[in-house]
Amino acid sequence: MKVVVIGDALVKSETLIEAVKEMAFAKDQALDIAVYEWHSELSKDEFQEHILAIERGGPEAVEIPEGILADLPEADYLFCHYAPISKAMLEAGKKLKLIGTCRGGIENVHVETVRELKLPFLHVIRNAEPVADFTVGLMYAETRNIARAHAAIKNGKWEKSFANDPYKTILPNLTVGIVGVGYIGKQVIERLNGLKVPVIVYDPFVDQQRVQSEGLLVEFVSDLAELFQQADIISLHMRVTEETKEMVNQHYLKLMKPGSYLINTARADLVCKDDLIKVLAEKKIAGAALDVSWTEPITADDPLLKLDNVTLTPHIAGDTIDAIPRSPFLLKKVVNDYLAKGYSDMEVR
């Protein structure tokens, strides 16, 4: 069994090798692992230049690891982080059964060739678990006033009364509505299931039976309006597209209960800022917690800063010391899931 791994400045080849050895195909088989490096000698700051080049121009705009084309014809699997997987590399890999990258973006892969060759391609949202943890943390912080109580004390005030006083209760007494049941959404659901919090979800693009077969305890609702009407906490986990940009606007915000909260650890542009500020200022909902901002960093005159029912953090939900370096082990989990089930939500088709 031949496996090719490519390390870089952020994810070491040694970590990729460790993860490969824990993949299901490696059991009871001798592994021949060919190791390549893509600017692994650079510092993180120096590596940013190459990240920018590949994100702007794709895998054909940068050089591939020297000598790799000689190893690929006999390779069964190819794994990397940010290194390019070019058209020439894919066409050279005549025996490839699967390729995988341990990052969410796919700019470094020649996806058109992947599709032409009908080659299974898996990737991971490498900071999914940190974002899911942080999302649940924001639910606690906003509903129980943790951050604003701390801020008050730091400013010399001993506050024990807050804007959401009529609605304060424990998390299991609240129903959380998840919009977007992708990889991060599922991670949030897993955590809420463990906390015995009722969960309803809306995602027209997922297979409901598949989600429920994975052991997630959720109730699907038929449309987005129903979720906004029923949920006490609404958490957004979608990508920004032409269809989803400012999707959460006054139409849906007006459907929310007076004691409900909006949580956003995805992208600011999913929400119409003016409409959200209006419902918060008028106390039409209990509060919001936002890890993303329409302008980063947020400006000193931003009206959000004047509100007493919003928790703001500076886009740090996915920021942990191990999210990127340990991402090969998240890829291992996705690969093993794919090998067991024959499908994966993280497969690019």
Q: What does the alpha-carbon distance between residue 168 and residue 241 come to, in Å, rounded to a whole number?
A: 35
Q: Which residue type is seen at 92?
A: A
Neighbours of 196 (CB within 10 A): 9
Active site residues: 267, 296, 315
What is residue 262's three-state secondary structure? strand
Residues 6+ apart with CB under 8 A from 244: 238, 270
Residue 268 CA to residue 117 CA, distance in Å, equals 37
Residue 280's Cα: distance from chain center in Å?
Answer: 26
132 touches 184 (CB < 8 A): yes
SS3 145: coil
* Of the candidates 23, 77, 6, 58, the residue with the CA atom closest to the CA atom of residue 335: 23
How far apart are alpha carbons 97 and 113 in whole angstroms? Answer: 14
55, 236, 46, 42: which is closest to 131 by C-alpha? 236
Non-local CB neighbours of 160 within 8 Å, separated by 6+ positions: none
Backbone angles phi, psi at 89, to 5 degrees: -65, -45
